[in-house]
Amino acid sequence: ETRLQNAEQNKMRPLIEEAIADLLSTGASLPRSMVVADLGCSSGPNALTLVSICVDAIRSQCLRSRQPPVEVCIFLNDLPDNDFNMVVKSLVAFQQSHRSVVTGVMPGSFYGRLFTSGSLHLACSANSLHWLSEAPEELRRNKIPAYDIDEHVRRERRRVVIGAYARQFRKDFTLFLELGAIELAAGGRLVASLAGRRSEEPAAEFTHAWESVALVLSEMASKVH
């Protein structure tokens, strides 16, 4: 999982570099400071990957423009139960090795307000937006699980479940974009990636391995209740 996450983050490198080049290539002098946020940073060895890419890209752009270094404030965001102890330790080491960089954490859901209006120059998110704000209310109300251990029932309910989660994703993603529009500075950029598939058929591509995982988890959950 760590390798897959890191590979996905590195795929975002050219997109982040392009976004920063656009931000800092207006023809005028560069801004004195920038605020960058990673929304859904998690913890562990990949927690600082995106912000490291951002800082390197900003530094490179300053060198190309022959401008003084821009002060950068980076924020790492995730839900409050994330292991921020590990994240903070990593941030301290990162700040010590990068001049003109200050760091901080911002616990909370990115489906709610996190930053002041117009304060972010660049927001990044890698493989986090598939985590919804909540399970669809219509499924909770009817006590329909996302993955039923009974294969026959699961297949019968598939369209209902997929439709409910698709509507919940649309609602959450729209809210995410609306909040970003408020929190991003004028001309700010959002670079985000999330998993997807080419086919509408759930079992058409890389889902077979997850069938076994989902079955085990469902059985464990049923024993808890």
d(CA 202, CA 208): 9
pLDDT at site 219: 60
3-state SS, residue 38: strand
149: pLDDT confidence band, cut at 50, 70 and 90?
confident
The rounded distance, in Å, linking the Cα atoms of 147 and 86 is 33
Check residue 162 and give its pLDDT. Answer: 87
Beta carbons within 8 Å of 70's beta carbon, 6+ residues apart: 24, 30, 31, 32, 33, 34, 58, 62, 100
Amino acid identity, position 22? D
Tell me what pLDDT residue 220 has.
Answer: 59
Domains of the chain: 1-132+174-202 (3.40.50.150)
What is the residue-averaged pLDDT of the chain?
85
pLDDT number for residue 4: 62
Q: Is residue 20 scored above 90 in pLDDT? A: yes
Nearest to 37 by CA among 172, 182, 191: 191
- Give the SS3 label for residue 19: helix
Q: Tokens for 189, please give them.
A: 């950029």
The interaxial angle of helices 13-23 and 2-11, nearest 10 deg, is 40
Using CB atoms within 10 Å of the CB of residue 39, give its burial: 0 to 12 exposed, 13 to 18 middle, 19+ buried.
buried
Please report the pLDDT score of residue 209 as a whole number.
Answer: 47
Euclidean distance between CA atoms 72 and 93, whole angstroms: 16
pLDDT in tens, 71-120: 999 999 999 999 999 999 999 999 888 888 999 999 999 999 999 999 99
User: Which SS3 state, helix, strand or coil, does residue 190 take?
Assistant: strand
Helix (H) or strand (E) holding 137: helix 137-141
Structure tokens of 200?
A: 């509408």
Q: How far is CA 143 from CA 130, 148, 167, in A?
A: 22, 11, 17
Partners of 125 in beta bridges: 192
The CA angle 155-161-163, to the nearest 5 degrees, is 120
pLDDT of the residue at 207 = 52
More confident call, 48 vs 151: 48
pLDDT above 90 covers what percent of the chain? Answer: 52
pLDDT digits (tens, 9 = 90+) for 63-76: 888 888 899 999 99
